[in-house]
Homo-oligomer: A and B are copies of this chain.
Amino acid sequence: MRGTRWLSADEQRIWRTYLQANQLLRDALDRQLQRDAGMPHGYYIILAMLSEAPGRSMTMSQLARTVSSSPSRLSHAVAKLERAGWVRRRRHETDGRATIATLTDDGFDVLAEAAPGHVEEVRSVLFDPLTPEQVRQLGEIFTAVLAPHDDRPGPPS
């Protein structure tokens, strides 16, 4: 591939800093949640998003979009959460293709128990080291990163 737009020295340094920090955050969150709540971070998010949904319920595909998961990953994950008794699945009443996942009371309790430690971890590893201005910038930066993928179709090229 001739004419590749290589990264400048600055860009490369920034990219690597980002990767490293990212790995740090991911490891910290996964370790903390695994230790204190016996679940990986991705599972926590599933429970958290369900807990905020009306009726503590969502279809699998809504849920997949909400937690940025592939259908397959979500299916495996919810199967596991269901075995743990934290989520229940049932058929959608009017659309026979869809499945509705619901957070159980047990699931809610586990989530409530895990939340404070998790939030504390997020704070200490991400927000505490940043100034309020940097937090604001962080939000804008990743909003910009996501923008091209909001699947409102972009201008036809």
Interface residues of A (CB under 8 A from B): 1, 4-7, 10-11, 13-15, 17-25, 45, 68-69, 115-117, 119-120, 122-123, 125-127, 129-130, 134-149
Contacts and interface: CB of A to CB of B under 8 A. Distances in A.
Nearest to A142: B21
A60 to B, nearest CB: 17
A5 B119 contact: yes
Given A14-B135, A137-B134, A142-B17, A129 B116 contact: no
Main secondary structure of the interface of A (DSSP, over half): helix
B7 A145 contact: no
Given A18-B139, A22-B142, 12 more contacts: A4-B120, A15-B126, A17-B139, A17-B146, A18-B138, A21-B145, A21-B146, A22-B22, A130-B144, A134-B144, A137-B137, A137-B141
Contact of A4 (B17, B116, B141): B116
A145 B130 contact: yes
A24 B146 contact: yes
A129 to B, nearest CB: 5
A130 B15 CA distance: 13
A117 to B, nearest CB: 7
